[in-house]
A and B are shown apart, each in its own frame.
Chain A
């Protein structure tokens, strides 16, 4: 007997969970956000359809919602002023290269939207790092047209020899980062909208807490140690949590079922790895932001994690090998 859960329900559940962030992005970045969202989604669906129909010549499954999720996540990961043709290239990379070339839904090793984001970032570094400022809703927010992200400000400032106290006036305060009053990709700015989506997915049991919590806790502890030792040269843990793609990554990207480990233990290790790599890249890497790279790197070791972390078998003591002969 089958229950009434389905892949479709899960995928559209994810889409629903992304609604707050979608609405916020449209509010903050206006019609441009809508343009990016639409082009990314339609392009992803189109590429999946054309590849399934004419290249693989198999069943067309664009209704299952997975390509739509990839499309929206791709849009979430780019600036709202990205030229349309670049978005279309991103969609082709996500669906064609990262998903269909591995065999389609369920078989890809890497998160398709992130592969596309990193591809675009490396190919078009200028356009991918020009961040439009969101519409101001609280006072004290400068209304320049574009500017760097808070992470970029901190990275450049620290590299130029400035201290955190000198940089503090230049970066948004906690309240601003919480509601998304800062430069960034279109889906990543509002922590509150992302957390709402995360809570919904937890209640619907689309995701479990293991990956996000282990990832964020690692970030807090690791960045906290450095900040505690030298607050002038390291940003504080809350700043790390609320800026860049941290929450978008923790809630929507690292939790991708297909590319994350299968057991709770494995998921905790996965989250730990993503958190650690993110902070390593943010602190000492060439890029100000490291969430996408961290997730993709950890995606690559998921098969190993799956081998190492088995569920606790009923009637066995942990660590006891079962003899086969």
Chain B
């Protein structure tokens, strides 16, 4: 497979070769500077925020907590610490509704004032010198509860600890932000570019690699220019402009686009010597390592065609959705669904009480008309889903297998390789909800595989 290349003022613009779609970008909030959202009255902190095992609460009802204080410990290897995003009193440890719509355990804190843990450096000063060594950096990142900020919320330190025998030679910083509407990474690159680059340097040191690439799609020329300018002061880091194509923000697609390396089926990026971290994560790494600040807040895009003031908000973890919606001047009457994330991969949220968690990159207030599913028509075998699948799968076939509960066949046809990007569903002329069935297939096949491995 050849890379699609073309040249313009940004140098060589690259992209991945297999599949992909180009939905309307709708980056309504790209011009809105990051604003600090006022503190919530009550913070609701689900303990299952990361991919993997939920954390274990270590505070009790009635405890006083400060901002940045550890309130839940990692529950296993693939797990993360959680720190209090607010100061106040623990109201209860109870089941709370999270973004999945289910009630799951969480810590509810009544906010009193804004009293920070003294160990956190809250000064504006940018600290460039990296004092910690590789092992200390990884420990710090683990201790401060960092997870991937791009949406999957995979514990960051795990990615920095390659399995024995595997060595990384490249760090990729993901500034692609290929989901329509979302702009939080874009704004972060414009406003915290230097911090992100220091974060990248820290990650390079942790991984002992001397090369890093920041991948940015060329619908963000200001970010490309800004970071290209800043990068001159950072040895080993370069900016790679990418042609707009969804789902380029997928790890495997980004690696393919930037380095023409192909992660083998069922394997992790480290297999081809790469570690991918989102720009938001790089920023969080800077804050954790240089400022001793745990992951207690993040930038969230709140947007939608009917939204009066599409915004990028710096939000404390645990802030209920309602507060974010108030900040963009209310829920438009035309809203049909509230989506957690972007329109392609995001899932509808069930309630306005649902809190922002570490992995929330955006809240999309989708217009009523757009949010409605079109009636499903028969598959006309047009193959468009196959052409656009960035993993080279046959979605129509996998969906058929899922519908008929033929999970062995779905597994053989590699359903587990599906990255759930939704390109097939976007392109389907018969409006078949392909992604739903693919997710169903993945869940069932995943369970089969786990059962088999237990024996």
> Chain A interface (Cβ within 8 Å of chain B)?
1-3, 5-7, 9-10, 61, 64, 66, 104-107, 257-258, 260, 262-263, 310-316, 322, 324-325
Contacts and interface: CB of A to CB of B under 8 A. Distances in A.
Contact of A322 (B263, B344, B384, B414): B414
8 contacts: A5-B384, A6-B431, A7-B429, A105-B378, A263-B383, A311-B389, A324-B408, A324-B412
Interface in B391-407: 391-394, 396
Given A2-B426, A312-B18, A322-B265, A10 B380 contact: yes
Interface string B409-430: 0011010010000100111111
B308 interface: no
Given A104-B378, A313-B417, A1 B426 contact: yes
B61 interface: no
Nearest to B250: A314
Identify whether the interface residues of A are mostly helix, strand, loop, or mixed.
loop
B3 interface: no
A314 B417 contact: yes
B429 A1 contact: no
B390 interface: yes
A161 to B, nearest CB: 47
B104 to A, nearest CB: 27
B452 interface: yes
B337 to A, nearest CB: 11
Contact of A257 (B380, B392, B394, B452): B380
Contact of A7 (B373, B394, B430): B430
Contacts of B391: 313-315
A310 B394 contact: yes
B1 interface: yes
B267 A315 contact: yes
B390 A107 contact: no
B380 A1 contact: no
A316 B265 contact: yes
A3 B426 contact: yes
A218 to B, nearest CB: 21
B380 A2 contact: no
A66 B383 CA distance: 17
Contacts, number: 106
B386 A263 contact: yes
B290 to A, nearest CB: 36
Interface of B: 1, 18, 21, 23, 252, 256, 262-267, 343-344, 370, 373-374, 377-384, 386, 389-394, 396, 408, 411-412, 414, 417, 422, 425-431, 452
Nearest to A10: B429
Contact of B429 (A9, A258, A263, A324): A9
A258 B265 CA distance: 30
Contacts of B422: 1
Nearest to B253: A314
B429 A5 contact: yes
A313 B377 contact: no
Given A5-B427, A262-B396, A314-B417, 5 more contacts: A2-B374, A66-B380, A258-B381, A316-B264, A324-B412
A254 to B, nearest CB: 14
Contacts of B414: 313, 322
Contacts of B370: 1
B421 to A, nearest CB: 11
B339 to A, nearest CB: 9
B386 A2 contact: no
Contacts of A262: 381, 383, 386, 394, 396
Given A2-B425, A10-B382, A312 B265 contact: no
Contact of A3 (B373, B381, B386, B427): B427
Contacts of B394: 262-263, 310-311
Contacts of B343: 1
A106 B392 contact: no
A1 B392 contact: no
Contacts of A322: 265, 412, 414
A9 B370 CA distance: 18
Interface centre among B266, B343, B381, B384 (most CB of A within 10 A): B381
Contacts of A316: 264-265, 392
B382 A315 contact: no
A235 B384 CA distance: 38
Contacts of B23: 1, 3
A257 B381 contact: yes
Contacts of B408: 324
Given A314-B262, A314-B391, A2 B417 contact: no
B452 A7 contact: no
B1 A64 contact: no
A311 B392 CA distance: 6
Contact of B1 (A66, A260, A312): A312
A216 B41 CA distance: 71
Contact of B265 (A10, A263, A313, A325): A313
Nearest to B370: A1
Contacts of B344: 1
A311 B386 contact: yes
A208 to B, nearest CB: 8
Contacts of A6: 374, 377, 429-431
